[in-house]
């Protein structure tokens, strides 16, 4: 066949696009306002595609369990973890984190874990959302 792509293109015209239009069908003029509207129930959010099991998202930190052994600091490739001398606890800067989950693997008391939260964009790298302690 001379143009073997043509049947494909025609078939595609009648198929639903694969793109999941998260968070809305059209980009809202103001995302913050849109999120406020979603909160008050005025607008509806198109949910994102679900993350699979074992997804490496935002780190969860259980302060109670932590013994301050510093092993996570030793293996962190991006040096995103700071040690708080006084309290003998850690502070994780997510803006530096590369989400490799090496710290959660090495933790002897399992006080670190990966959640499936991935919406972490922020204008300020030291914002409250991006620091886990």
Partner 1 sequence: MIPEATTKTTYQLPIGPIHPALKEPVAFEFEIDGERIVDVNVSLGQVHRSVEWAGMRRNPIQILYLAERICGICSYCHPMAFALAVERVAGIEVPERADYLRVIQAELERICSHILWAGVAAHEIGFDSVLFLTWQMREKALDLTEYLTGNRVTKAITMIGGVRRDITKDMVPKVTETLNYFKDNFEKLRHIFLDDKTFKMRSQGVGILTKEDALRLCACGPTTRASGVKKDVRLDQPYFAFGDLDFDYVTPDVLTGEVNGDVYDRIIVRLLEVKQSIGLIEQCLDKMPAGDIVSEPKIPKLLATLKKAKGEGIGRMEAPRGEVFHYVKLDENEYPYSWKVRAPTYNNIMPWIPMLRGEQIADIPIVAASTDPCMSCTNRVAVVDNGKKYVLDKEELHRLSVEKTRRLMA
Q: Which chain residues interact with partner 1 by CB under 8 A?
A: 1-5, 8-9, 12, 18, 51-56, 71, 74-78, 98-102, 105-106, 114
In angstroms, give the least distance from the CB of 111 to partner 1: 16
Q: Minimum distance between the CB of residue 22 and partner 1, rounded to whole angstroms?
A: 15
Show the tokens assigned to 106.
């090495």
Q: Count of CB atoms within 10 A of residue 97's CB? A: 21
Q: Is 131 helix (H, G, I), strand (E, B) or coil?
A: strand
Of 114, 61, 59, nearest to 87 (Cα)?
A: 61
What minimum distance in Å lies between the beta carbon of 28 and partner 1? 26
Nearer to partner 1, 56 or 89 (CB): 56
Q: Closer to partner 1 at the Cβ: 75 or 109? A: 75
Q: Could you tell me whether strands 112-114 and 59-61 are parallel, antiparallel, or unpaired per DSSP bridges?
A: antiparallel
Q: Is there a contact between 90 and 73 (Cβ–Cβ < 8 Å)?
A: yes
Nearer to partner 1, 71 or 120 (CB): 71
Q: Which CB sits closer to partner 1, 1 or 27?
A: 1
Instruction: Please list the residues that pair with 84 across neighbouring strands.
Output: 89
């Amino acid at each position: 066949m001379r143009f073997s792509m043509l049947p494909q293109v025609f078939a595609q015209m009648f198929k639903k696009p694969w793109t999941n239009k998260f968070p809305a069908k059209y980009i809202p003029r103001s995302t913050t306002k849109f999120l406020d509207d979603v909160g008050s129930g005025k607008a509806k959010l198109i949910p994102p595609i679900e993350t699979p099991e074992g997804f490496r998202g935002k780190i969860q930190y259980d302060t109670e369990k932590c013994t301050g052994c510093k092993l996570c600091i030793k293996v962190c490739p991006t040096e995103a973890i700071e040690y708080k001398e006084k309290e003998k606890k850690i502070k994780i800067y997510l803006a530096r984190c590369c989400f490799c989950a090496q710290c959660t693997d090495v933790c002897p008391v399992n006080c670190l874990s990966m959640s499936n939260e991935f919406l972490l964009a922020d204008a300020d790298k030291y914002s409250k959302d991006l620091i886990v302690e």
